[in-house]
Amino acid sequence: MRFRFRKAAHVFERVGLAMAGAACGLFVGAYVGSAIPTLTTQGFLLLMMLLGGIGFYLGIDTPQMPFDDAHSQIDAAELMSAAGTLSATLTAFASVAVIVLRLDPHMAWTWIVFVGWIAGVAMQIVAGAKARLRK
């Protein structure tokens, strides 16, 4: 019985992380889509939300390698997951700041946010998949 509650709590946590990633993707999509006219579509917003949801679901809370002498090398999946999470959340934070403060940054900053978001969620997805495959 206790195992089921722990499993349910873990599922709730992961779904919550996926929803946070989707929300971050919505903010990035809204900012980037409003600045780049060709990306002003509902499909683009949905894609950003989907990537965020998948990235945060897989990339946060990755299974760690055992910590012993046999596994003394750097855990690449953990490092990539951390870097991806930082990049994705930093770009989401910047997007929210631009939207809320009604800033008008140079187009180069928009592209930096867009590339940072894509790179961040891609690192999360790859790291999460890699960590789960080695289990």
- Residues 121, 90: contact at Cβ < 8 Å? no
Task: Write the pLDDT tens digit of every residue in 83-131.
Answer: 999 999 999 999 999 999 999 999 999 999 999 999 999 999 999 998 8
pLDDT band at 63 (very low <50, low <70, confident <90, very high): confident
Instruction: Give the number of other CB atoms < 10 A from CB of residue 38.
Output: 7
HSE on the CB side for 99, CA within 13 Å?
17
Residue 135 clears pLDDT 70, i.e. is over it: no
Q: Phi and psi dihedrals of 75, rounded to 5? A: -80, 95
Domain ranges of the chain: 2-133
